[in-house]
Amino acid sequence: MKQLIETIVKPLVDHPEEVRIDADEQDHRITYKLSVNPEDMGKVIGKQGRVAKAIRTIVYSAAGSHHGKKVYLDIVD
């Protein structure tokens, strides 16, 4: 899943080397925390959050049931 998120996000940003994804796995959920350069934050979020929503939609669809765990994507600064 990390690879999918990287594949989507890196072409969008000016500093692809600073894209970091951390996974926080708990009993019934996996939270992926996406961190980018502060200058690229607007590109990842998009106008009115449209890009972020699209990224989340793709990630959630690809995750499916992911072994019975819910998958979340947080964009952190």
The count of domains in the chain is 1
CATH assignment of the domain containing 42: 3.30.300.20
**CA 63, 69, 75, 77 torsion: positive or negative?**
negative
d(CA 48, CA 44): 11
The pLDDT, as a whole number, for residue 59 is 92
Q: How confident is the model at residue 18 (pLDDT cuts 50, 70, 90)?
A: very high
Is the pLDDT score of 65 beyond 70? no
Which long-range CB contacts under 8 A does 37-40 form with residues at least 24 apart? Answer: 37/13, 38/77, 39/14, 39/15, 40/12, 40/13, 40/14, 40/15
Averaged pLDDT for residues 59-71: 81
Which residue range forms the structural domain that includes residue 44? Answer: 2-76
3-state helix, strand, coil split of the chain in percent (to 5) is: 55, 25, 20
